[in-house]
Amino acid sequence: MRSDPADYQLVAPASLRAVVSLLAEEPGAWLPIAGGTDVMVQYAAGKLSARKLVSIWNLPELRRIEVLSDEIRIGAACTYTDLREHEVVKLEFPLLASAAGWTGGIANQNRGTLGGNIVNASPAADSLPALLAYEAELILVSVRGERRLPYLDFHTGYKKTKLAADELVQAVCLPRRFLGYFSYTRKVGARNAQAISKACIAALGRMSGGVVQEARIALGSVAPVPLRLAETERAVKGKSVDPSILAVARKTAAAEIRPIDDIRSTVRYRSSVAGNLVAEFLEKLSISGAKA
Ligand SMILES: Cc1cc2nc3c(=O)[nH]c(=O)nc-3n(C[C@H](O)[C@H](O)[C@H](O)COP(=O)(O)OP(=O)(O)OC[C@H]3O[C@@H](n4cnc5c(N)ncnc54)[C@H](O)[C@@H]3O)c2cc1C
């Protein structure tokens, strides 16, 4: 059924404080809208159950990228264009800059925000594996104050998160300790642009003395939530990359993921591609010269 604009209320308070106060007055009644690229799709499809929308698009507190000595803090309402054009993001967090560059087309990158991608909580979201690889932390804010949460703990199940009804994601913090790591990321979809991933990977690694010193591997679209492959990382640590360890990595990765059949792909295809992506990462890492 078509949505009727008269059924909806949209407000745009001028400060973060005013927005969190509004959320606290009626927890769950107001739906934050940032770029609107997910919310407006639901609206156009007549599936937007929330009737009260509060815009957070223009809040200066959410639109800045702060570069501190030990981390960068990306305001939740920063867009993909903000990310892919930022010098420190490009240099130190290339997995995130790449994901920003293939999230929809240019129009979508000008409106879609990192916070929206996180809270929309799609297992296929393109920026989220990078956040896992970089061990991101989230700053959540409400009238009660701020709390910091590892991003790894934020998604608790399909489309489920730890965000309270009166909270916003304020910022995404990335530690500045991955410069020099080998980075590998790929999106596998029907096309390179304007396609939802069938599977995607963001991975970091370092070699030492011909063996894998550290591997940090995250996949999207292969489980109800974006997944860090902790067992696979452990299985390859301290090993040289040869056919036998590639076979172990494929097998361990297959055991960690929980793909589904859906309109975009199948369990069989996703499992096979996930194994290929992990193996390709390890092969490229081993010849990359990225040392500890
Ligand atoms: C044409 C098109 C192509 C797309 N392609 C891709 C793609 O390739 N890859 C991909 O991953 N996604 C894609 N998307 C999905 C979408 O663009 C992203 O998920 C985007 O990051 C959403 O951000 P937004 O600011 O537009 O979110 P909104 O639509 O404003 O909000 C989405 C959800 O997040 C909540 N929210 C937003 N910000 C906050 C916050 N700071 N705190 C609390 N809650 C918040 C909202 O309440 C809502 O529930 C595409 C969408 C379109 C329309």
Instruction: Count how many residues are written for the chain.
Output: 292
C-alpha 88 – ligand 1 centre gap (Å)? 23
Work out the mean pLDDT of the chain and round it to a whole number: 94
pLDDT of residue 192: 64
Tens digit of each residue's pLDDT (9 = 90 or more) over 187-244: 887 766 667 878 899 999 999 999 999 999 999 988 999 999 999 999 999 999 999 9
For domain 182-291, the CATH superfamily is CO dehydrogenase flavoprotein, C-terminal domain (3.30.390.50)
CATH fold for the domain made of 60-175:
3.30.465
Higher pLDDT, 136 or 5: 136
Written as six digits, the tokens of 179 are: 């410069």
In the predicted model, what is the mean pLDDT of residues 54-73?
97
Sign of the torsion formed by the C-alpha atoms of 287, 201, 78 and 15: negative
Which ligand 1 atom sits nearest the alpha carbon of residue 119? 34
Q: Are strands 52-55 and 9-11 parallel, antiparallel or unpaired?
A: parallel
Q: What is the DSSP string of 123-137?
A: TT-SSHHHHHHTT-E
- Determine the residue of 8, 33, 38 to mutate for testing ligand 1's pocket, defined as the one with the most ligand atoms within 8 A of the Cβ atom: 38
CATH fold for the domain made of 6-55:
3.30.43
130 touches ligand 1 (CB under 6 Å): no
What are the residue boundaries of the structural domains of the chain, listed by start? 6-55, 60-175, 182-291
Residue with tokens 């000595």: 69
Is residue 245 predicted with pLDDT exceeding 80?
Answer: yes
Residue with tokens 């309109």: 263
Is residue 291 predicted with pLDDT exceeding 80?
Answer: no
CA–CA gap between residue 57 and residue 93 (Å, rounded): 24
pLDDT of residue 117: 98
Which ligand 1 atom sits nearest the alpha carbon of residue 79? 25
- For ligand 1, atom 11, the nearest C-alpha belongs to 125
- Give, to the nearest 10 degrees, the angle between helix 267-286 and helix 243-256: 140
Query: Considering the entire predicted model, what is its pTM?
Result: 0.96
CA–CA gap between residue 211 and residue 244 (Å, rounded): 14
pLDDT category at 259 given cuts 50, 70, 90 is confident
109 touches ligand 1 (CB under 6 Å): no
Is residue 4 predicted with pLDDT exceeding 90?
Answer: no
Cβ atoms of residues 97 and 191 within 8 Å: no
Cβ atoms of residues 192 and 102 within 8 Å: yes
In the predicted model, what is the mean pLDDT of residues 72-94?
98
Which ligand 1 atom sits nearest the alpha carbon of residue 170? 41
C-alpha 168 – ligand 1 centre gap (Å)? 14
39 touches ligand 1 (CB under 6 Å): yes
99 touches ligand 1 (CB under 6 Å): no
Q: Any bridge partners for residue 200, and if so which? A: 187, 220
33 touches ligand 1 (CB under 6 Å): yes
